[in-house]
Amino acid sequence: MQKPLTCVEICAGAGGQALGLAMAGFVHVALVEYEADYCNTLKQNRPEWNVICADVRNFDGKPYEGVDLLAGGVPCPPFSIAGKQLGKDDERDLFPEALRLIKEIKPRAVMLENVRGFLDNGFSEYRQYILKSIEKLGYDTQIKLLNASDFGVPQLRPRVVIVGIRREENRNFTYPQGDSQIAPTVGNTLYDLMAENKWKGAKKWAQNANKIAPTLVGGSKKHGGTGFQDR
């Protein structure tokens, strides 16, 4: 019987990426998240998860050496327009911590996610530094922009995904091929919920909500909370 794949996830938020990894067959041995509200959400929804509510800067990866995957959506404001694109000069940039943990944990694979702005020309030098640093730790790396709506999510959510595979694994990795035509509309997705309490306007609402949604952003304490944007 094949052993389950193990995962350490940093910057776990309220668990969106963690749920996806769980659906893909990964068992989380640790989820690291700083915000108390997000930690409570994770614990309430998945009591079996080992949620570590702490600053990732203080998280020691050595006890988890050899897990199958180190994953994380490191903070995106340093590279997003809403976050003023300060890059490595932004105190919220946690790429250095991700590199430290790759070195400590030595996972079989790495997956780091960030906003489309990470691909901007202004970050080319820093981007190459990150990729080269992962490669020096023994990984073959790839980077690609993916859009959630190409994989059935009714939201415009482009994200850069960095994948690293340890060279001794001798595995070829290819990104999944998306389809821009498969995303349902917001109306189709949420109609049953809107109609749950017999709201008579639900059908008309669903007809008007006939597109995918823009990106919903929020959580940053520096750019004013929740809003909509396209990157």
The set of catalytic residues is: 76
The residues facing 28 across adjacent strands are 7
Give the C-alpha distances (Å, rounded to integers) separating 132 from 31, 34, 66, 84, 117: 26, 28, 21, 25, 19
* C-beta separation of 93 from 87 below 8 A: yes
For the chain, the C-alpha Rg in angstroms (whole number) is 19
* C-beta separation of 107 from 70 below 8 A: yes
Residue 73 CB neighbours (<10 A): 21
The residues facing 144 across adjacent strands are 161
Q: Are strands 158-166 and 139-147 parallel, antiparallel or unpaired?
A: antiparallel
